[in-house]
Amino acid sequence: MHKQRLEQMVTMLRGLPPEGEVKFNLEVWNCGTSACAVGHACVSPVFIKQGLKWDGIMRDPVFGGACGWRAVERFFDVIPDDAERLFADWRYTTGGKTTPNQVADRIAEFIGAQ
């Protein structure tokens, strides 16, 4: 687990404006008007500097030669199940209605349990 990156994700999520230019939507990586937690990270200078990128053609996060969920797993150094538990809409009872703070809370809980 890359604790520092996960902590930075918590900080970024808690700092998202309620009605920002790109709305929060856990169901999509990033379509330009909505983005999930990872989609927001892909356009954040903090994460871009660490190598996480957004591939506008594939419409996926990219890191270390991997794309999609594999990129998320590598970037945060988590196993597939943990990546999905933290960032996938289907792993939240609120689905696409999940808020940035709910995702941040789950990440913080995950960090504390490790």
Q: Give the span between the Cα atoms of 48 and 34, in whole angstroms.
A: 18
Q: pLDDT at position 20, please?
A: 54
Handedness of CA 48, 54, 56, 57 (dihedral sign): positive
Q: pLDDT at position 16, please?
A: 87
**Spatial contact of 38 and 66, defined as CB atoms under 8 Å apart:** no
pLDDT tens string, the chain, 114 residues long: the values are 899 999 999 999 999 876 655 577 666 666 554 578 998 899 899 999 999 998 878 788 999 999 999 999 999 999 999 999 999 989 999 888 888 999 999 999 999 986
pTM above 0.85, yes or no: yes
Q: pLDDT at position 93, please?
A: 93
Length, in residues, of the chain? 114
Q: Which domain holds residue 102?
A: 3-113
